[in-house]
A and B are shown apart, each in its own frame.
Chain A
Amino acid sequence: MGTLDYIWMGILAVFQGPELFSLFGLPISITLVMILCGFLTGIAVGATPGLAGPVAMAIALPILISVFGFTPDALLPVLGFLIGIMKGATVGGAVPAILFNTPGTPDAFMTTLDGYPMTQRGKAKKALRVAHFSSASGDTFSDIVLFVCAPFLAILVEAYLDLPEKTALLILSLSFISAVIGGSPGKGLISTGLGLLAAYVGTGEDFYPRLSMGQSELSRGFPIVTAVLGVLIIGAVLKELEDLWRTKRSSGTLPQHTDDGDQRLHGADIRRLLPYIGRSAVIGTAIGALPGIGSTLAATLGYTVGRARYVRKKRPDAPAFGEGASEGIAATEAANSSVSGANLIPVLSLGIPGNAAAVFLILAAESIGGFNPGPSVFRFTADTVNPELVIAFGLFTAMMIANILNWTIGGLFMRSMGVMTRIPKQILLPSVLLLTLTAIYVQETRMEAIWFALGFGVLGYLMRSVSISPLPFVIAFILGGNLEATARQAFSATGGDPWFLFTNPIAAVFMAMAVAFILMTARRKNTTV
């Protein structure tokens, strides 16, 4: 089995999987249909303020698992649907940002700066076309980088890193995530530490389930869905409802817009936008490849770099950035969309989720089984078939199909989604809460799971209220078991050397970097005060 054989098998796994129906004699696989459904759902969800890709992923996961079961055949349809949501939500987030000055997703905030002024000038459709073209370009570029980089990085990790180095790499990742997410290393470390502690409740190798305080409910530990959905989704719902109540935002009439003049995107427009899209795509991809740094930072940086170029290049009569420049939309949308593909580089090559969408992909893979994202996926075995590698190339194929859908029907569907903005948040959010709790119950089938999730939701709300990002908590919760298992193995493999993280040169460098990241970020915070 060569590399090309694996790539071909991955493509075939998507196109020749279980057939749903045939079109003009051509069999249409269930995976293809699921990618399409996920993509359209993602656009609708992204276009709805108050919802986001992770919410739809959380609600869909138990349904998907119930439909497809826990067999290897379920992996590609389920992951294809989730990837479709991830990509669709990125595009859809621009719709309310442009039409109603309300970002559908947090990373679309910068899109409002130029998108809404264009709508006010009667150029809403053109603004949506610019957003879609830039978003699809950035996303496609990012995916290509993922396809090239993830296998190489994974092979390097497998070739050069042994157990002590892998342990140190996990610690380095957690330290990096703590330092960069939320902009406060102190709060990031607290979030990470709490996530690890929660992961260790009711687990361990002894007969007594540790940290369970003698309670039978805690002795099985916290189910992963309760922690992830509780902190990420329920916490967000509570915080959004509080914000809604606090600002007393009425659900009154939404502003109307009318289209005026030429709304098409011409070749000249595209040539003018490409330098901005290119720069932002590179920025977004570089940021996305680092675990934990979200698309919001990428959008901000892309916008800032685009603005610097625009000041030098703009025509005298063209509107400035922030006053309806289509280049501003292009710079923002290309940057935030190019994060999504690159964010899967640490997931597939290291098994470390970098954002909430990646968390749900790992959750799906763990629930179904047969695919463990990490460096072992990219073992190009010659004599036997590595099924995980076939799935990985199947995922890459699914991403490209989603991109093709994005380029072909994405723009049209996106432009028809303005209606989603009219759903009042105060009705939508409680329904989302009920959906989330039901999703948790149908997976765990015990009421205590709902209570756990509610507890984690309160924790997530409190963390958001004091500006502690919940994402390090979730990532630490997911990686906690793996970190301990790797450390135990490394400790045994080094003959019980308590200094195994410091006696190995690469591990020592990783540990030094972990400490340096935290201290440097903390010192910078101190000097900027």
Chain B
Amino acid sequence: MSQASRSNLVIGLLAIAFSALALFAWIPLDTETGLIEKVRRQITVGDALAPSVAAVFVGVGGLLLVVFERRAPNQPVLSTENLLFVLRLLVVIAIALLTMRFAGPAIVWLANVIQGTELEYRLLRDTVPWKYLGFLMGGTIMVFGMISVVEGQLRLRLLFISIAAVLAVMFVYDVPFEDLLLPPNGDV
């Protein structure tokens, strides 16, 4: 927090710009009907009205920040350092999710290449151990990666803790329930 921060002014101006963009470009170009429509001599509310009201809310909010709150005390500051930290976390999460999505099919493909079989992940996705491959690998990368980013170091003990955490999640959501599918098995 800083007394000298002008973040309210910046947020206000960004909100006004976003509101204007939504009102004059996004909503008119991306809705089929306008604010009010006349259909067979009957006047009805068009699909653009509600989003326009929402955009006006954003714009008025921005205006209030610029007019009334631009000199408010203790305005927050978004530091580049903090944003970079969260970006690192997001990269870890993205890698983990991609692993979760593609690890199972990739291992099946590899098994086919090595053993000359013609297995399909889609047909195996509800069978052990195939259904756990993606989740276990992706989940471990997510938990272990995030802990390591926060702690700033890689430790074997944390890897085991991460695997245990992922196994616990699998136990909670998959083992007791036949109808629940762990990611990514619902849509591969």
Inter-chain contact A441/B58, CB cutoff 8 Å: no
Binding site secondary structure of chain B: helix
Give the residues from 133 to 152 in chain B that come closer than 8 angstroms, CB to CB, to chain A. Answer: 135, 139, 142-143, 146-147, 149-151
Q: How many angstroms between the C-alpha atoms of A528 and B116 in the bound complex?
A: 75
Inter-chain contact B165/A427, CB cutoff 8 Å: yes
Query: Which one, B15, B32, B45, contacts A487 given CB within 8 A?
Result: B45
Q: How many angstroms between the C-alpha atoms of A435 and B53 in the bound complex?
A: 36
Q: B50: which A residues are within 8 A, CB to CB?
A: 196, 200, 480, 483-484, 487
Decide: A185 near B55, CB < 8 A? Known: A430-B142, A445-B186, A450-B183.
Answer: no
Query: Which one, A188, A451, A458, contacts B61 given CB within 8 A?
Result: A188
In the assembled complex, A211 has its CB within 8 A of some CB on chain B: yes
Inter-chain contact B139/A434, CB cutoff 8 Å: yes
Decide: A465 near B82, CB < 8 A? Known: A66-B180, A435-B169, A447-B101.
Answer: yes
In the assembled complex, B103 has its CB within 8 A of some CB on chain A: no
Query: Which one, A66, A244, A467, contacts B76 given CB within 8 A?
Result: A467
Mask, A186-198, CB within 8 Å of B = 1, is 1111111110110
Mask, A430-466, CB within 8 Å of B = 1, is 1101110111011011110011001000100110011
In the assembled complex, A496 has its CB within 8 A of some CB on chain B: yes
In the assembled complex, B8 has its CB within 8 A of some CB on chain A: yes
Inter-chain contact A466/B11, CB cutoff 8 Å: yes
Q: How many angstroms between the C-alpha atoms of A178 and B93 in the bound complex?
A: 32
CB distance from A290 to the nearest CB of B (A): 20
Inter-chain contact A238/B65, CB cutoff 8 Å: no
Total A-B Cβ pairs within 8 A: 229
CB distance from A181 to the nearest CB of B (A): 13
Decide: A186 near B31, CB < 8 A? Known: A193-B58, A242-B85, A466-B76.
Answer: no
Mask, B59-90, CB within 8 Å of A = 1, is 11111110111011101101000100110011
Q: How many angstroms between the C-alpha atoms of A196 and B64 in the bound complex?
A: 19
Inter-chain contact B182/A190, CB cutoff 8 Å: no
Inter-chain contact B173/A196, CB cutoff 8 Å: no
Inter-chain contact B47/A430, CB cutoff 8 Å: no
Inter-chain contact A438/B101, CB cutoff 8 Å: no
Q: A483: which B residues are within 8 A, CB to CB?
A: 50
Inter-chain contact A200/B54, CB cutoff 8 Å: yes
Decide: A454 near B93, CB < 8 A? Known: A187-B11, A427-B161.
Answer: yes
CB distance from A62 to the nearest CB of B (A): 7
In the assembled complex, A241 has its CB within 8 A of some CB on chain B: yes
CB distance from A68 to the nearest CB of B (A): 12
In the assembled complex, A63 has its CB within 8 A of some CB on chain B: yes
In the assembled complex, A317 has its CB within 8 A of some CB on chain B: no
Q: How many angstroms between the C-alpha atoms of A248 and B16 in the bound complex?
A: 37
Query: Which one, A199, A246, A435, A484, contacts B82 given CB within 8 A?
Result: A246
Inter-chain contact A210/B32, CB cutoff 8 Å: yes
Q: A208: which B residues are within 8 A, CB to CB?
A: 31-32
Query: Which one, B42, B43, B85, B182, contacts A438 given CB within 8 A?
Result: B182
Decide: A187 near B61, CB < 8 A? Known: A241-B89, A434-B169, A523-B68.
Answer: yes
Inter-chain contact A189/B45, CB cutoff 8 Å: no
Q: A526: which B residues are within 8 A, CB to CB?
A: 67-69
In the assembled complex, B44 has its CB within 8 A of some CB on chain A: yes
Decide: A186 near B68, CB < 8 A? Known: A196-B54, A210-B30, A498-B36.
Answer: yes
Q: How many angstroms between the C-alpha atoms of A185 and B69 in the bound complex?
A: 9
Q: B162: which A residues are within 8 A, CB to CB?
A: 430
In the assembled complex, A272 has its CB within 8 A of some CB on chain B: no
Among residues of B, the one whose C-beta sits closest to the C-beta of A174 is B57
Query: Which one, A184, A199, A476, contacts B72 given CB within 8 A?
Result: A184
Give the residues from 463 to 507 in chain A that come closer than 8 angstroms, CB to CB, to chain B. Answer: 465-468, 476, 480, 483-484, 487-488, 491-492, 496, 498
Inter-chain contact B69/A211, CB cutoff 8 Å: no
Q: How many angstroms between the C-alpha atoms of A208 and B179 in the bound complex?
A: 33
Q: How many angstroms between the C-alpha atoms of A20 and B54 in the bound complex?
A: 48
CB distance from A441 to the nearest CB of B (A): 4
Q: How many angstroms between the C-alpha atoms of A451 and B100 in the bound complex?
A: 13
Sorting the interface of chain B by its residue count into under 10, 10 to 19, 20 to 34 or 35 or more gives 35 or more
In the assembled complex, B27 has its CB within 8 A of some CB on chain A: yes
Q: B184: which A residues are within 8 A, CB to CB?
A: 441, 447
Decide: A461 near B86, CB < 8 A? Known: A244-B150, A437-B183, A491-B44.
Answer: yes
Q: How many angstroms between the C-alpha atoms of A199 and B54 in the bound complex?
A: 10
Decide: A525 near B61, CB < 8 A? Known: A208-B32, A450-B183.
Answer: no
Inter-chain contact A66/B183, CB cutoff 8 Å: no
Query: Which one, A66, A192, A210, A465, contacts B78 given CB within 8 A?
Result: A465
Inter-chain contact B58/A189, CB cutoff 8 Å: yes
In the assembled complex, A207 has its CB within 8 A of some CB on chain B: yes
In the assembled complex, A27 has its CB within 8 A of some CB on chain B: no
In the assembled complex, A120 has its CB within 8 A of some CB on chain B: no
Query: Which one, B42, B150, B168, contacts A241 given CB within 8 A?
Result: B150
Q: A207: which B residues are within 8 A, CB to CB?
A: 32
Q: B101: which A residues are within 8 A, CB to CB?
A: 447
Inter-chain contact A458/B90, CB cutoff 8 Å: yes
Q: How many angstroms between the C-alpha atoms of A466 and B61 in the bound complex?
A: 14
Q: A311: which B residues are within 8 A, CB to CB?
A: none
Inter-chain contact A193/B69, CB cutoff 8 Å: no
Q: A192: which B residues are within 8 A, CB to CB?
A: 57, 61
Question: Could you list 29 examples of A-B contacts with CB < 8 Å?
Answer: A62-B180, A63-B172, A178-B57, A185-B61, A186-B63, A190-B58, A193-B55, A194-B58, A196-B57, A206-B31, A212-B30, A241-B86, A246-B85, A426-B151, A427-B143, A427-B158, A431-B169, A433-B142, A433-B146, A434-B139, A434-B169, A438-B182, A439-B173, A441-B181, A441-B186, A454-B90, A467-B75, A488-B45, A523-B68
**Interface of B toward A, CB cutoff 8 Å:** 7-8, 11-12, 15, 19, 22, 26-27, 30-33, 36, 42-45, 47-51, 53-65, 67-69, 71-73, 75-76, 78, 82, 85-86, 89-90, 93, 97, 101, 135, 139, 142-143, 146-147, 149-151, 158, 161-162, 165-166, 168-169, 172-173, 177, 179-184, 186-187
What 6 A-B pairs come out closest when comparing CB atoms? Answer: A445-B186, A189-B61, A193-B57, A496-B43, A196-B54, A193-B58
Known: A197-B51, A200-B50. 18 other contacts (CB 8 A): A66-B177, A185-B61, A186-B68, A208-B32, A245-B150, A430-B142, A433-B142, A435-B172, A441-B184, A442-B182, A447-B101, A447-B183, A454-B97, A458-B90, A476-B54, A488-B44, A526-B68, A526-B69
